[in-house]
C-alpha cells in the first residue's frame, strides 16, 4: 500500500491518526519538527527540502497546516507540489467548516488539492472540543471563564477523535472520496451551553464572557498569536455569532460507522485535563 505521512503528527488530530495507524498495523511515518521516536521523521512546512525528504516513498499524506500563520497557500502548496512530483497520490486535508475552497488559510490548500490531486478528501470539522483544554484552559482555570466573540451563536462542537477516525477512513478507503465533508458533533451549542456543561462536569462554576471581535483579536495577540491569524479567528467568532455554524451533520456516522461524542461525554472522559490546578484555584 505504501507509507502514509502524517504531518502535524504530534498535534491534536495528527497524534490520534498516527495512533490509529499503529493499532491497525498500517505503514506510516509521523512528520514533526522534533522527531523523538523511530517512526518519526523531521518535517517543517517552511523547510521545503526537509519536507520533500520526509515525503520520499509516501503514497498518501495527512495535511495539517501550520497554526501559527495564515499564508498557507504560499507555504504549504509548494510542498504538496513536490509530493505530487514524488508520486504521492492521495491527499487528505484538515480544514475547517468555516473555510470554503479558495478562501483564506486552509481554503487555499483545499482549492489546490481539488484542482491537482488525483485522490483527495478535505475534512471540514466544526470547532474542536479539545479547544477547551488548549486555547481556553488557562482562562477556565484562572478566571472560571471562556472569552469569545460568538455571542449567542451556536456550533456543532466535535471531538478530535471523531475527526481522526474520519481521516483514517479517508486515507485508507479503497476508493478516493474526491470531495469535502463537514464534520460536527451531535448537538449545536452556544458557548453559554458549553460553560454550563463544564460547570456540571467539573463541579465548579464556569461562565462565558462575550467580547467584541476587536477585543477578541487583541486577546489572542496578547498571547503571542500572529496578528493576521488572530484577526481571522476573531472574525470566525463573529460569523458564529451570526449563525454561520448553527448546524449538525451526520458525516461522522456515515464515514466512520460510529456516532460522534457529545460534549458531556467528552468532559467526563477528559476531566483530568483541567487537573488539580483547577480544583485548587476553584475549591
Tens of pLDDT, residue by residue over 26-69, are 999 999 998 988 889 999 999 999 999 999 999 999 999 998 78
Helix (H) or strand (E) holding 6: strand 3-7
List strand residue ranges (DSSP E) for 151-214, in order: 154-155, 179-183, 189-190, 207-210
Tens of pLDDT, residue by residue over 189-226, are 999 999 999 999 999 999 999 999 999 999 999 988 88
CA distance 160 to 165: 9
Whether 134 has a pLDDT exceeding 70, the answer reads yes
275: pLDDT confidence band, cut at 50, 70 and 90? Answer: confident
Q: What is the pLDDT of residue 69?
A: 81
What would the grid cell of residue 197 be? Answer: 456543561
Helix (H) or strand (E) holding 237: helix 227-241
- With a pLDDT cut of 90, the percent of the chain lying above it is 87
Q: How many CB atoms lie within 10 A of CB 257?
A: 9
CA distance 159 to 143: 24
Helix (H) or strand (E) holding 32: strand 28-32
11: pLDDT confidence band, cut at 50, 70 and 90? Answer: very high
281: pLDDT confidence band, cut at 50, 70 and 90? Answer: very low
Q: What is the pLDDT of residue 270?
A: 95
- What's the half-sphere exposure (Cβ side, CA atoms, 13 Å) at 23? 8
What domains does the chain contain, in order, with CATH numbers? 3-125 (3.40.50.720), 127-158+184-247+261-283 (3.90.25.10)
What's the mean pLDDT when you consider all of the chain? Answer: 93
Q: Do 158 and 131 touch, CB atoms closer than 8 A?
A: no
280: pLDDT confidence band, cut at 50, 70 and 90? Answer: very low
276: pLDDT confidence band, cut at 50, 70 and 90? Answer: low
Q: Do 52 and 86 touch, CB atoms closer than 8 A?
A: yes
Amino acid at each position: 500500500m505504501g507509507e502514509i505521512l502524517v504531518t502535524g503528527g504530534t498535534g491534536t488530530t495528527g497524534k490520534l491518526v498516527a495512533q490509529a495507524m499503529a493499532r491497525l498495523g498500517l505503514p506510516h511515518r509521523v512528520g514533526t519538527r522534533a522527531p523523538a521516536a523511530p517512526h518519526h521523521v523531521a518535517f517543517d512546512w517552511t523547510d521545503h527540502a526537509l519536507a520533500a525528504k520526509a515525503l520520499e516513498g509516501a503514497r498518501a499524506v495527512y495535511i495539517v497546516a501550520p497554526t501559527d500563520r495564515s499564508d498557507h497557500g504560499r507555504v504549504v502548496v509548494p510542498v504538496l507540489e513536490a509530493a505530487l512530483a514524488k508520486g504521492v497520490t492521495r491527499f487528505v486535508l484538515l480544514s475547517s467548516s468555516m473555510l470554503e475552497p479558495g478562501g483564506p488559510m486552509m481554503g487555499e490548500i483545499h482549492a489546490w488539492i481539488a484542482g491537482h490531486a488525483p485522490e483527495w478528501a478535505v475534512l471540514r470539522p466544526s470547532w474542536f472540543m479539545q479547544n477547551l483544554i488548549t486555547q481556553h484552559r488557562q482562562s477556565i482555570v484562572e478566571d472560571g471563564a471562556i472569552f469569545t466573540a460568538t455571542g449567542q451563536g451556536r456550533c456543532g462542537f466535535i471531538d478530535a477523535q471523531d475527526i481522526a477516525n474520519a481521516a483514517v477512513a479517508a486515507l485508507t478507503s479503497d476508493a478516493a472520496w474526491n470531495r469535502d465533508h463537514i464534520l460536527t458533533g451531535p448537538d449545536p451549542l452556544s458557548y453559554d451551553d458549553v460553560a454550563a456543561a463544564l460547570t456540571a462536569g467539573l463541579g465548579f462554576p464556569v461562565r462565558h464572557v462575550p467580547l467584541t471581535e476587536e477585543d477578541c483579536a487583541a486577546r489572542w495577540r496578547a498571547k503571542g498569536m500572529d496578528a493576521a491569524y488572530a484577526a481571522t479567528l476573531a472574525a470566525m467568532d463573529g460569523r458564529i455569532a451570526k449563525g454561520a455554524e448553527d448546524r449538525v451533520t451526520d458525516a461522522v456516522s456515515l464515514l466512520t460507522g460510529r456516532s460522534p461524542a457529545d460534549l458531556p461525554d467528552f468532559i467526563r472522559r477528559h476531566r483530568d485535563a483541567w487537573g488539580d490546578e483547577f480544583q485548587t484555584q476553584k475549591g
